[in-house]
Amino acid sequence: MNALAWIAWFFVSAAGWAWFLSQVIAGALAVWAFLDTLRRPAEHFAAADKRSKNFWLALNALGLVMFLISLIPLIQTLRDLLSTGVSTSSGFSMLMLLAVVANAVYLADVRPALDYYRPVRVRSQIRRPGRNGRGHPGRDR
């Protein structure tokens, strides 16, 4: 029976760490989506035929706030996992799940559409192959 208890503890511990890791990833997505929305010009949202910048800013800010609210249970989960290996608390709620979905939609759909309208960077010189960018290999001038 000891082996079965050990196996059960191992799987519960692995599930707790996976849950904790998913919450950390959700927080990283929230921060990334919010900061990316902040740095985009509002004109690009209209040009890409997406909702307004204020809409996405509010939605991503809500996702970030939901993550910040769940930080206290997240720290409790980490403390439980480090002390006993088993987590008894969960900071993830249905609202947090909706916030993660909104952040993921922004990053998967809106962000690539906005990248299309990003200014093109042009190099000042064209490099030619050979001789440190000058001339052609095997050809002397």
Interval 101-132: pLDDT, tens: 999 999 999 999 998 888 777 766 666 666 56
Write out the two tokens for 135. 């001339």
| Count of the separate structural domains present in the chain | 1
Half-sphere exposure in the Cβ direction for 30 (13 Å, CA): 24
**In a domain? residue 30:** yes
* End-to-end CA, the chain: 85
Chain-wide mean pLDDT for the chain?
A: 83
Per-residue pLDDT reduced to its tens digit, 39-49: 999 999 999 99
In a domain? residue 81: yes
Which residue did the predictor score with more confidence, 123 or 23?
23
Residue 135 lies in a domain: no
Residue 6 lies in a domain: yes
DSSP class of residue 121 equals: P
Give the residue numbers spanning the domain of 96. 2-117
